[in-house]
A and B are shown apart, each in its own frame.
Chain A
Amino acid sequence: MITWQEFKDIFLNGTWRQNSSLVQILGMCPLLAMTTTLVNGAMLSLATILVMALSGLVVSLLRNLIPYEIRIPVFILIAAALVTMVDLGMNAFMHDMYLILGIFIPLIITNCIVLARIEVFAAKQSPLQSFFDGAFMGTGMLWTLSLLGGIRELIGNGTLFSGIEAVVPSLHHLQLLPESYPGFMLAVLPPGAFILLGCLIATKNWIEARAAARAKLPPPTPANAAGCH
């Protein structure tokens, strides 16, 4: 089973210490494409949480049957099959939800973080831990992409929560800047995402460096980004 300490460690790793977007810098392709608005970023992350938790669980259950030499093709096979199953299942049984999340689901398999967490975590740990690792890695992505999407949307269009009508019909997006705001295309286009992501990474490092200085500890060495984006 899982101890409280383990659970806390997995939670902190996923949402902060090993945050997929800010520390591991994985999944850049969906990040750039989908964080044009807050709602899009959050929706993609929610779909990713589902797929990552499931793939962690399934790979961990099957880990003793998978030979080391062919683990990568098998992992990709499992993850891709799960994405397709979620896609089909949601389309058939939760059609309203599918109309909102549908276009995001096939994008998940382009996200390296799924394969990365299977390889470094689920292939070595027991099922429950792997399930939570996938879910919390997705949660880390959820707050980062929502924040990034929110900033891009606000700077780019002057609104927040646009598209929320599709999720909760009674809600309406917020017009935070005056209607006459001309918009700032750079923030909506991929280069703007890179610039803002850089700012977020710098902020995170600054917060950690300050905390480390207070604790009179040497600042943490940044984790090496894997060669996959």
Chain B
Amino acid sequence: MTFGKEPSATGLAIRTAVILVLFVSVFTAALAILHSLTEPAIRASAAEEEMRAINDALPRELYDSDLLADKIELPPTADLGQDQPSVAYRAHRGGLPAALVLKAIAPDGYSGKIHMLVAVRVDAGHVGELAGVRVTEHKETPGLGDYIDPKKDKNKAHPWIDQFDGQSFAKLPEKTWKVKKDGGQFDSIAGATVSPRAVVKAVKKALAWADANQERLFAATDKKGGQR
């Protein structure tokens, strides 16, 4: 860099500040443009993935209604770990309530929030029984705590998350809903207990909330029955 004359300290400071601001503006603008270009595609693939996760959590044979069309808005609900409004999906079979799919968040994962889908059955004879749980979004340590997601679980025959299938408070008393290390009933892999502990706790709270609220939620369905 050569200057006609040695610049003053103030001149140099202003010059570099202006250049830095220019760089920041250019790159921020580039990011903003790219973000708006990619947003629709990202949202579409997220929706597709969500349907795939719902199908994993709630077996297709348990309901015959159009699940994505039958959703209700929930206010921020502490028991689901949601501090923002969220949605719940209602499944029907032969016109009768069959299951409820809730979005729950475990706030205390090893690295941040663990987002999951919790499917609770409400059909006769299975009320309060979990149909399945799937982790949809997490930042747990790859190769260590990420086995909460069956795609990353090394045990393909019996993934960790399948322990929830068919469980209910009737079969397992509520106070035993802990990992075995904490004196509960759920397995975990030694050295990676934080992630499963967070998931078990969040599923327990979500199931309790579903038990307490499912009648109210399905009553809301009936009111909107004509719109479906």
B180 close to A (CB within 8 Å): no
B192's closest neighbor in chain A, by CB? Answer: A188
| Smallest CB gap from B27: residue in A | A81
Nearest residue (CB) in A for B152 is A163
Task: Please name 9 pairs of A and B residues whose Cβ atoms are closer than 8 Å in the assembled complex, sorted by A.
Answer: A33-B141, A36-B144, A66-B19, A67-B16, A70-B20, A88-B34, A88-B38, A92-B37, A103-B142
List, in ascending order, chain B residues with CB within 8 A of A40's CB. 142-143
8 closest residue pairs by CB, A with B: A36-B143, A92-B38, A92-B41, A81-B27, A95-B45, A88-B38, A70-B16, A37-B143
Residues of B within 8 A of A188 (CB): 143-144, 191
Contact bitstring B144-157, A, C-beta under 8 A = 1, else 0? 10000001101000
B45 touches A185 (CB 8 A): no
Q: Which residues of A contact B (CB under 8 A)?
A: 33-34, 36-37, 40, 65-70, 73-74, 77-78, 81, 84-85, 88-89, 91-93, 95, 103-104, 157, 159, 162-163, 166, 173, 185, 188-189
Q: How far is the CB of A61 from chain B (nearest CB, A)?
A: 13
By secondary structure, the B interface counts as helix
Q: Which residues of B contact A33 (CB under 8 A)?
A: 141-142
Q: What 1/0 mask marks residues of chain B from 8 to 27 whose CB sits below 8 Å from any chain A CB?
A: 00001001100110011001
Given contacts A185-B190, A185-B191, contact A67 B34 (CB under 8 A): no
Q: Are A91 and B191 in contact (CB under 8 A)?
A: no
Residues of A within 8 A of B30 (CB): 81, 85
- Which residue of A34, A81, A103 contacts B31 across the interface (Cβ within 8 Å)? A81
How far does the alpha carbon of A6 sit from the alpha carbon of B204 in the complex, in Å?
62
Number of interface residues of B (CB under 8 A): 29
Determine the distance from Cα of A69 to Cα of B16 in the docked complex, in whole angstroms: 8
**A residues less than 8 Å from B24 (CB atoms):** 77
Of A36, A68, A81, which is within 8 A of B1 by CB?
A68
User: Residue B139 at the A interface, CB < 8 A?
Assistant: yes
Chain A residues within 8 Å of B154, by CB: 157, 159, 162, 173
Q: Is B42 an interface residue (CB 8 A)?
A: yes
Bound complex: CA of A110 vs CA of B24, how far in Å?
20
Residue of B23, B24, B37, B152 with most partner-chain A CB within 10 A: B23
Q: Is the CB of B142 within 8 A of A89?
A: no
Chain A CB within 10 A, most for which of B20, B39, B151: B20
B142 with A34: CB separation less than 8 A = yes
Check B181 for interface membership: any CB of A closer than 8 A: no
A69-B12, A74-B23, A77-B24 known, 13 other contacts, Cβ within 8 Å: A36-B141, A37-B143, A40-B143, A68-B1, A70-B16, A70-B19, A73-B20, A77-B27, A91-B38, A92-B41, A163-B143, A166-B151, A188-B143
B35 at interface, CB cutoff 8 A: yes
CB nearest to A149 among chain B residues: B143
In the assembled complex, the Cα of A103 lies from the Cα of B137 at a distance in Å of 10
**Would you give the shortest CB distance from A72 to chain B, in whole angstroms?**
11
Q: In the complex, are the beta carbons of B34 and A85 less than 8 A apart?
A: yes
Cα A163 to Cα B153 with chains together (Å): 8
Tell me whether A85 and B31 are in contact (CB under 8 A).
yes
Residues on A with beta carbons closer than 8 Å to the beta carbon of B142: 33-34, 36-37, 40, 103-104
CB-CB under 8 A from A173, the residues of chain B are 154
| Contact assessment for A91 and B12 in the assembled complex, using a CB-CB cutoff below 8 Å | no
A62 nearest CB across to chain B (Å): 8
Q: How far does the alpha carbon of A69 sit from the alpha carbon of B11 in the complex, in Å?
A: 13
Taking the nearest CB of chain B, how far is it from the CB of A51, in angstroms? 15
Cα–Cα distance between A36 and B34 once the two chains are bound (Å):
33
Could you tell me the distance in whole angstroms from the C-beta of A143 to the nearest C-beta in chain B?
19
How far does the Cβ of B49 sit from chain A's closest Cβ, in whole Å?
8
